[in-house]
Amino acid sequence: MSIHDQAALLRQIPLFANVDESHLKVLAFATEHVVLLNGQTLIKKGDDAKAAFLIIGGEAEAFSDEDEEDTKTTVVTSNSFVGEMAMLGGQPYAATIRATSRLEALKISKELFFRVIDEFPEMAVEVRRVINNRLTGTLSDLSRIKYLLNKPE
């Protein structure tokens, strides 16, 4: 896969949607291509978030608890970006992600991500904007849930 193709994939992620093409190519050049087979773990809940992953092929399942049999939270497919919030926040991963087929991903290490942000401050502004939008959405969702839970019948 060419650097141009990898940059195009990164552009599909909201975090990078408005980032300059040349900056995306720098980021794409330094990513690591990762391949996992069915049953292999991409991310383990509780581990230090040292990278984020852009899924470029295959599928995986995300589990929020140690007892993975009953806690599947979502299916992860192509163009999903996983692990980024934990990585950006300096938190451990919040879920385990395990391949359910042959899985291909681009790995963006924490060091690489922050180095690119340091070199291209306009990218930091975009990252901050996306995170703010996510937090606003989460707060809205929580308010709606609170209303539904407290709604008189």
Please list, in sequence order, all residues whose beta carbon lies within 8 angstroms of the beta carbon of residue 150, skipping any fewer than 6 positions away: none
| Number of C-beta neighbours around residue 37 at 10 A | 10
Give dist(CA 83, CA 106) in Å, integer: 12
For 34-60, the pLDDT digits (tens) are: 999 999 999 999 999 999 998 988 999
pTM for the model: 0.77
Give dist(CA 64, CA 125) in Å, integer: 30
Q: What structural domains and CATH numbers belong to the chain?
A: 3-150 (2.60.120.10)
82 neighbors 76 (Cβ within 8 angstroms): yes
For 1-23, the pLDDT digits (tens) are: 788 888 888 888 877 787 888 88
| Higher pLDDT pick, 62 / 1 | 62
